Amino acid sequence: MWRKADPAAATTGAGPAGRTEFHPVKRAVLWTMLMIWSVAVPACAASPCPAPQPPDGLQTFYKALSDLKSGARQRPVTVLHLGDSHIALDHLTGELRSRGAAVFGDGGRGLVPGVPYAYYAPQGYQIRMSGNWRVASSLTGKEPGPFGISGYRIETADADAEISLVSDHDIGTVEIEAYGGPETGAILLTLGTAAPLKLQTRLEKPGPVFLRVPAGGAREVRLRVAGGGPVRLLGWTMEGVKSGFRYDSYGISGATLEVVDHWDEAIVEAEIRRLAPDLILLGYGTNEGFNDHADAGAYGRRFSQLVKRLQHLAPEASIGVLGALDGARRAKPTDRLLCSNGWATPPKLGVLRDVQRGIARQSGIFFEDMSRVMGGTCGIARWVDAEPPLAWPDHVHLRPEGARLAGAMLWQDLMGVFESTALSCIRNPKG
């Protein structure tokens, strides 16, 4: 694993004179009942809201959300979502992020460094990269590290190289994660119209460098090389002005579970411990499911090992596994799960999803079968043929409308109980 109730109104009968006489004993009993009632009602009204019963595996996540909403917690509630192209495209994750921000406030997000691939378009930001930057990906394992949880690294010694970011909301703090060493140089960071700040990445021994700078609500960030040696960036974070809901998503197109083995253990440990996520979501399984030779046993051992590692690095976090969305390929003679128009479901897709389900059950963590939101087997074919279409003709990737629908349904399964109990109670604590 890695490189190394309201009170009822009492009614009395009215006689001709408009009053009712009570026997002394009955009067005493009634008086006693009224005294008990007067004590019980305020106590009941002042009782705290009942704690929501979260889905299996989300107990600590729900506790963090409750503390944030009640004001008992001052730092953001943070979600870390790792996965493949369904995560990289940011439509599904963007739906979750926007819903969380609407309920709890925008706590910001972490970002992949620069523009690591052509279609990179994180929602809420416009990012441009100019000059001679070299982009390295951890996808295949052939590229030497260092790599962290973003899975990418960009580097340059070009004085004209620049990254610019424009946000559609105020930024409270910028944190840059670089990889420093004896030979690395400095960067110039410009926030809005303020004067540039020179930040040093050099270290005596190679390792990650975290540079935090208050942004004061700026919406434009520019980063340039300041000389003294090359600069290597692993990621950067745009935190919100106030604590809220932070959703960091890092996806790599084509990624399988093996990609985490290409990340540097010391960097990943530093990143996760620093981030201290409240929920970690794992979105792998699509690409593995298209491999007819995938070994389910080996996959299960690898998945179990990853879960245990994350539980060690983030002991306070809930962990969730998202079983792969449905997908299809051009049918082969050996395929048995045939869909429409010559497409078929890869046989290992459901097998590995069931392996994930079993690991989640054994580990006591949350599991969501993402194919369920599409109607199960051959759901991707139905989404391709839908009007309007919800998936692309490749029968793997979701169109933005489909991804947002899948995100909304995942949100309901993650947060439905919390919204229907804790939030309604917080808004109206007396019921």
Which two three-digit tokens encode residue 122?
């994180």
DSSP string, 54-115: PPTT-HHHHHHHHHHHHTS--SPEEEEEEESHHHHT-HHHHHHHHHHHHHH-B-EEEE-SS-
pLDDT of residue 341: 85
- C-alpha span between 33 and 193 (Å, rounded): 70
pLDDT of residue 38: 40
2 contacts 261 by C-beta, under 8 angstroms: yes
208 contacts 178 by C-beta, under 8 angstroms: yes
Q: What is the mean pLDDT of each run of 10 residues along the chain (431 residues)?
A: 46 36 42 41 47 88 94 95 95 96 95 94 95 96 96 96 96 98 97 96 96 97 95 97 95 96 97 97 97 96 97 97 96 87 94 98 97 94 96 97 97 92 60 44
What are the residues whose beta carbons fall under 8 Å from the beta carbon of 254, sequence distance 6 or more?
Answer: 84, 85, 139, 287
193 class by beta-carbon count within 10 Å (0-12 exposed, 13-18 middle, 19+ buried): exposed
What are the residues whose beta carbons fall under 8 Å from the beta carbon of 175, sequence distance 6 or more?
Answer: 210, 211, 212, 213, 236, 237, 239
- C-alpha span between 365 and 74 (Å, rounded): 26
Relative to beta strand 197-200, strand 186-191 is antiparallel
Relative to beta strand 245-251, strand 77-83 is parallel
Nearest CA to 66 among 419, 431, 319, 428? 419
- C-alpha span between 274 and 390 (Å, rounded): 37
pLDDT of residue 334: 83
Relative to beta strand 162-180, strand 231-239 is antiparallel
- C-alpha span between 415 and 54 (Å, rounded): 8
pLDDT of residue 419: 86
pLDDT of residue 386: 96
pLDDT of residue 340: 82
pTM of the entire predicted model = 0.86
pLDDT of residue 48: 58
